[in-house]
Amino acid sequence: MHPFRKAVEAMDHAAVEALLAEDVVFTSPVAFRPYPGKAITAAILRAVMRVFSDFRYVREIASADGRDHALVFTAKVGDMEINGCDFLHMDEEGKIDDFMVMVRPLSAAQALSAAMGAQFDRVKAEAFGGAEASAGSAGTPADGER
């Protein structure tokens, strides 16, 4: 079992964050631009853990060299069923340096977008503190960016 999967299933936020490289890039299924950096990625992942219910990984696929992983999951956003996949790339130190999420169906992706949008002020505050969060430095996913 991949250490990231183990940490998520244990709801261990500190372990999840420890697995992220400082220069990790998170590509959201509902935002146009990727989010660079460990602080914002960790804050987004904490928010996702608040938004999803009945989350479980159902399959794990790894490349032969062990640096690429696909973790297939199911969850609920409100009463909507969602299926998705976390695509992870590990750097030479074994840290996640690229993290991309894909989800389906569209109706569940839209529910996820709305739920995460409601979390985004908190996400920015957790990642950057009050001053930068107020200034919008993390870039809340606007409708034109989804």
pLDDT band at residue 115 under the 50/70/90 scheme: very high
pLDDT digits (tens, 9 = 90+) for 33-89: 999 999 999 999 999 999 999 999 999 999 999 999 999 999 999 999 999 999 999
When pLDDT is averaged across residues 4-11 and rounded to a whole number, the result is 95
pLDDT band at residue 136 under the 50/70/90 scheme: very low
| pLDDT of 134 higher than 90 | no
Task: For residue 60, tell me if it sits in a domain.
Answer: yes
Task: For residue 144, tell me if it sits in a domain.
Answer: no
CB burial of 73-90 (b: ≥16 within 10 Å; e: otherwise) equals bebebeeeebebbbebbb
Task: For residue 137, tell me if it sits in a domain.
Answer: no
Domain CATH number, residue 113: 3.10.450.50
Element housing 62 (H / E): strand 52-62
Task: For residue 141, tell me if it sits in a domain.
Answer: no
| Predicted pLDDT at 1 | 84
| Predicted pLDDT at 137 | 41
Q: Return the closest-CA partner of residue 44 out of 110, 109, 139, 131.
A: 139
| Predicted pLDDT at 130 | 58
Residue that is written with structure tokens 């399959």 in the block: 59
Task: For residue 59, tell me if it sits in a domain.
Answer: yes
How many helices (H) and strands (E) are present in the chain, helices listed first?
4, 6
What is the rounded distance in angstroms from the CA atom of residue 36 to the CA atom of residue 43?
Answer: 12
Domain that residue 51 falls in = 3-130
Instruction: Report the number of distinct structural domains present in the chain.
Output: 1
Calculate the average pLDDT of the chain: 90
Q: What is the pTM of this model?
A: 0.86
What is the rounded distance in angstroms from the CA atom of residue 66 to the CA atom of residue 140?
Answer: 33
Task: For residue 145, tell me if it sits in a domain.
Answer: no
Task: For residue 89, tell me if it sits in a domain.
Answer: yes
